[in-house]
Chain A
Amino acid sequence: MPLLWLFLLVLAIAAGAFVLARARVMAQAGQDRRTLHSLPIYYGSNAAMKSAIPALLVLVLWLLAQPFYVNNAVSDMIPESAIADSSSRGLILAEVRRAADGLDLAVSTGGMTENEARNTRADISDVTARLSDAGAIVTSQITQPVLRAAQQFRVLNSAGYQIMSAVVLLIAAAGALWGFKETKPDFRARNVVEQGVRALLIAAASIAILTTLGIVLSLVFNTIEFFRLYPASDFFFGTSWAPSFSGRGGSSDLGILPLLWGTFYISIVALVVAVPIGLFAAIYLSEYASSRVRAFAKPMLEVLAGIPTIVYGLFALLTVGPLLVQVFGDDGLGWMQAGTAVMTAGLVMGIMLIPFVSSLSDDIINAVPQSMRDGSYGLGATQSETIRQVVIPAALPGIVGAILLAASRAIGETMIVVLGAGAAARLSLNPFDAMTTVTAKIVSQLTGDSDFASPEALVAFALGMTLFVITLGLNVLALYIVRKYREQYE
């Protein structure tokens, strides 16, 4: 694990700089810390900071940049003629990486010496035989250009790592020296260190922006790639979802409409379950319940929100589904063919959303000023009349916001629909039919697939993009409504 060692070495240099700088400033001050501008620890921290942070920053950037450079260099080595019709440059490059891993493995298990692994004139059949002896996965795709590229890949990579280690250590040492040189009793060490810490705090806060940026970029780039292979109009307006699994057959139907319909249908069923129950529970808890009932029932309902979704998924698949089949299946009413259906997933998702609706509505109902209730009582209204005609209308925008948030949750929910809703994409009105959703199809198109060249895999990114835009829109709208409403009574 040379990377770990490099990291520890940088930290060791920083620690050394810390001790030396602190000792130096104390010596200069004649062991009298009163003559120093800052506490001695700040002089040490300054040197340590200057040695560790730039070095680690360079390390991270190098690690990110090197694969790019190596990939490009290796990619140029493979002639256009070596790429078969049924393949692509990306697949060949994956093969190159696998071959390079195989060579690494062969060297580390002793099946091959380093020189043999680098020998560019090596016979392909000999090398593949040795690779499979060493336990590496060798496919028929390893050809002479691939092997050459793999060897070059290894050479470039190991050279890159060596240069990187040297550069990083050099920067660490230079930083340590710089910090050490600066260390004088009148140096404003505390201010410098605090500025550094502040920069770190800002960097930490910016990770939220980077994450959003990462999400958007990874979705956008792959979606554009997808639309290059598959027409966007067919994707958005196609009414049939039938991906072919053979690979690049080009015969896949990838229309999003059946998936969107399944998603909305299941979400509507879930909301029909969750909204009345959640809303009435919230009204009872905030307006009627004694404090003892409230102290018991509120956390109990919130337990439902803390249960992982995989549990609900299993509950849908193994408990609710078979139960519904007993009632609505062929032995009962004959509406339902199998346990996985819109109803199964919707019902269970509704249970999951109850606490979501009830907690949010509870907060919002509590925020309605007491004076409005008192006014209503003063006019002779009963409690339920007050709630129906005064409290709820006043809280309505907030409640709508809560329902929108719950809807966005339902649309983005994955495990319940993967396990409970079935896999068939269809446009049907029967809630006892199996249907599938955007999230479930993202999972089924991407699991276990490391090849992102085919439209069948890339479609998942377009689906993800659609999902992201819809949920983001709902969230922004909901937050806007809730905030607007809160301001009204504050």
Chain B
Amino acid sequence: MTDASMDNVPVKGSLTTVDARTKKRNAAEKRFKAYGLVAIMIGLFFLVVLAVSILRSGLPAFTQAEVRVEFTLTQAQFDEAESQMLKTKAYENFFIAALQSQLEERGLDVSFDPAAIERLLGKTGSTIREYFRENPDQIGTPVTFNLAASSRVDGYFKGRVSRDTVVDSRFLEVTDLDLVDALADAGIIITAFNWNFITGSDSGVDNPGGAGIGVSVIGSFFMMLVVLALSLPIGVAASIYLEEFAPQNWFTDLIEVNISNLAAVPSIVFGILGLAVFIQFMHLPQSAPLVGGLVLTLMTLPTIIISTRASLKSVPPSIREAALGVGASKMQTVFHHVLPLAAPGILTGTIIGLAQALGETAPLLLIGMVGFIARAYPEGVVSGFIDPNSAMPAQIYTWAARADAGFYEKAWGGIIILLIFLLTMNIIAIILRRRFERRW
């Protein structure tokens, strides 16, 4: 009976040979898996591209073409120059003569005119005059001057400017590049580490070579102090209340809903809040790190509260029960036992929240940290908080928005410094977590 019906079933082949349908299904399986792998590869590829383009464009900001000239000014020359009408011009002439003789010493015969030197090095005369007026005891002894080359010359060394692309302008003429090559051969132009970029202040719109990020690092530092001093205690207090004390009622629900919504509000809205409340309403100073810190505090609070609550939650209830059992009050239980045990997690969350705040730019644009050119370090702690300053990301944005391409290099360099700070903070957070994290 079964045999009869079996005859009608078409033979499908054996289990050991793979039929076309199975082949298709297996191929689909392989394809699907490959899609996933490709997606991850694309993500990692973007990461690599980002890293490479940051490093390639940013590292040149840390070096600077300099002209190193040994120069001796005699007392007679000093007196002569000071007696003239155009004092800095006289110094410049001495300097050019010295440069000429140094080139001849090395057997190089290049002719150049003072205007070319001015295009290459800027106003050398005033630099030299200032130095000797401040250090009169150096007159008569050989002094080595390191003079920063102009941003075009700097660009020529870094490949930003080439002979093909350069057009004669009042900033650089093609013939100047011959002089630059000769000076480079003679070892007079060298590439040195640009300390000014790390410690210096922002320069004017037309001087990308002299721009530094130091002052805005200080601005960011004061901002982070405000954020730390406010968001850590407030965030921890709010989390303790919500996690340990809050009764189940509408008020608690309201707080919870607010926190989860604030975590997703676009950062620029916090900027609007800062502008309207802190500047328009309270008349706090514009561009001040204090205001920036207040805005960033409000922005980071939800992050800190969420991570603090998670670490409070991870402390097992047995700890609380034991403390209550030996007669501690609820408050004592939390502050003497639960909080210390949750501290590493809270600290990790706080550092990550701070790192987020450090890189945030949009709210700072609205409270005026961008239009301001940070030229000088703050004079003291109070002035650090309330005097106008810039912050690292705002400074980077300012440079990126400027017309001169020389500033782009500075912006990338600024990003490297910003990322170094973020990386350090994150590594500290990871180390803290690894060392102190407790599994219950």
Contact = CB atoms under 8 A, between A and B. Distances in A.
A304 B255 contact: no
A46 interface: no
A317 interface: yes
Contacts of A461: 272, 276
Contacts of B39: 276-281, 284
Interface stretch (A50-58, A203-211, A239-247): A203-211
Interface residues of B, number: 91
A176 interface: no
Contact of A314 (B42, B281, B286, B415): B415
Interface in B279-326: 279-283, 286, 298, 301-302, 305
B33 interface: yes
Given A310-B415, A447-B368, A414 B362 contact: yes
Nearest to B252: A205
Contact of B43 (A314, A355, A387): A355
Interface string A465-487: 00110011001100100000000
Nearest to A461: B272
A306 B329 contact: no
B47 A304 contact: yes
B338 to A, nearest CB: 13
Contact of B240 (A201, A212, A419): A201
B396 A471 contact: no
Interface stretch (B116-124, B146-154, B170-178, B256-264): B256-264
Interface string A205-227: 11111011011001101100000
A351 interface: yes
A351 B37 CA distance: 16
A464 B234 contact: no
Interface in B258-276: 258-262, 264-270, 272-273, 275-276
Interface string A63-102: 1100100000000000000000000000000000100000
Interface centre among B234, B282, B286, B362 (most CB of A within 10 A): B362
Interface residues of A, number: 92
Contacts of A204: 233-235, 237-238, 241
Contact of A464 (B272, B282, B393): B272
Contacts of A429: none
B261 A212 contact: yes
Contacts of A301: 40, 43-44, 47
Nearest to A472: B261
A371 to B, nearest CB: 22
A208 B382 contact: no
B412 to A, nearest CB: 7
Given A284-B36, A311-B415, A443-B365, A200 B255 contact: no
Given A297-B40, A304-B43, A311-B419, A443 B50 contact: no
Interface stretch (B21-29, B194-202, B432-440): B21-29
A310 B359 contact: yes
B25 A382 contact: yes
Nearest to A287: B36
A308 B266 contact: no
A316 to B, nearest CB: 10
A475 B258 CA distance: 12
Interface in B229-245: 233-235, 237-238, 240-242, 245
B255 A208 contact: yes
Contact of B272 (A198, A201, A442): A442
A194 B46 contact: no
Interface in A292-313: 297, 300-301, 303-304, 306-311, 313
Interface in B124-180: none
B370 A448 contact: yes
Nearest to B39: A280
A468 B270 CA distance: 10
A308 B265 CA distance: 16
A264 B411 CA distance: 29
A200 B237 CA distance: 8
B329 A281 contact: no
Contacts of A405: 264
A283 interface: yes
Interface string A146-173: 0000000000000000000000000000
A301 B41 CA distance: 10
Contacts of B237: 200-201, 204-205
Given A209-B258, A297-B44, A447-B370, A4 B264 contact: no
B331 interface: yes
Contacts of A202: 241
A460 B36 CA distance: 42
Contact of A208 (B29, B258, B266, B365): B258
A414 B329 contact: no
A215 B264 contact: no
Contact of A354 (B46, B280, B301): B46
A358 B42 CA distance: 13
A300 B280 contact: no
A194 B275 contact: no
A317 B400 contact: yes
Interface in B10-40: 25-26, 28-29, 31-33, 35-40
Contacts of A412: 265-269
Interface of B: 25-26, 28-29, 31-33, 35-40, 42-44, 46-47, 49-50, 53-54, 57, 233-235, 237-238, 240-242, 245-246, 254-255, 258-262, 264-270, 272-273, 275-277, 279-283, 286, 298, 301-302, 305, 329-331, 355-356, 358-362, 365-366, 368, 370-371, 382, 393, 396-397, 400-401, 408, 411-412, 415, 418-419, 422, 426
28 contacts: A198-B331, A201-B240, A205-B241, A211-B273, A215-B273, A287-B36, A288-B33, A288-B36, A308-B359, A309-B361, A310-B359, A318-B400, A318-B411, A354-B43, A384-B32, A384-B33, A408-B266, A412-B267, A412-B269, A413-B266, A419-B400, A439-B362, A442-B268, A443-B268, A446-B275, A446-B365, A471-B266, A475-B261
The 7 closest A-B pairs by CB, nearest first: A412-B266, A284-B36, A308-B359, A218-B276, A280-B39, A204-B237, A384-B32
